Amino acid sequence: MRIFLLSLVWVSAARPGFVYTFYCLFINGRESMNNKPIKPYSAKQEKFGTWLINRIGRWQIRVYEWSGGRLWKNFMGAPVAILTTVGRKSGLERKVPLLYLMHGDSVVMTASKGGMSTLPVWYLNVKASPEVSIQVGAQKQRYRMREANAQEEAELWPKLEAMYPDYQQYRQRTADIRRIPVLIFDPVA
C-alpha cells in the first residue's frame, strides 16, 4: 500500500490530471467525466473516499512541511495550505491540507469534504476551538475562525468556484443533505 501511495504522490506531482481521472473513476462515479446528473455518493464511495483523502493528506502534509510549502502546494490548480487544529476529544494537534482563498488578510476555506454527506472532522475541531494555525508556503500564522454570514457566502462562493470549479459539483451533491460551511480565518494579533 505504501508503494501505491508513493506512486500516486509522484504521479500527482508530475501529472495532476491523473489524480483527477483517478478521482473521477473511483470516487466520483465517472459523473464529472461524462456529464451525468450529480447525485450523492454511496456509503461505499464515501468510505473509500475518506480513506483515500486521509492517506494522501498525510503524505501531502509531510511533503509540504518538509519543503517549506514549495512542493505539493496546489491541487488541481488551486492553492493548498496546512490547517493545524486541536482535537476536540484528544486535545492533540491535528493537521489537514486544505484548499484556500486569500480574502484581504483573511484565509477562506470550505468544509466540503469532497462533497460527501458528513462534515469533515477538522471542522468539528475548529468549531470547538476556533484559534488555529495555518501554513501558507513557508509562513505559519495564527488565525481565529468564524463562519461566513449569508452575505459573505454570496460574495465568496463565486470566487471559490472560480478557484476550484469542482466546488459547484460538491454543492450540488450535498444540496439535499447538508450545507457546506464557508469559513473565514482572521489573523490573530
pLDDT tens digits for 124-136? 999 999 999 999 9
Decide which of 126 and 6 is more confident: 126
Closest CA to 31 of 47, 43, 20, 18: 20
Whether pLDDT at 4 is above 60: no
Q: Report the pLDDT averaged over residues 87-104.
A: 97
Q: What are the residues facing 184 on neighbouring strands?
A: 108, 146
Q: Which pLDDT belongs to residue 16? A: 46
Q: Which pLDDT belongs to residue 19? A: 52
Share of the chain above pLDDT 90, in %: 79
Give tens-digit pLDDT for 19-33.
Answer: 544 554 454 554 555
Q: Which pLDDT belongs to residue 151? A: 97
30-50 in b/e form (b: 16+ CB < 10 A) is eeeeeeeebebbeeebbeebb
Q: Which pLDDT belongs to residue 189? A: 79
Measured between alpha carbons, how far is 142 from 18 in angstroms, rounded to an integer? 34
Measured between alpha carbons, how far is 112 from 116 in angstroms, rounded to an integer? 7
- pLDDT band of residue 34 (cuts 50, 70, 90) is low
For the entire predicted model, the pTM comes to: 0.82
Q: Report the pLDDT averaged over residues 47-76.
A: 95
Q: Report the pLDDT averaged over residues 27-53.
A: 80
pLDDT, averaged across the chain:
88
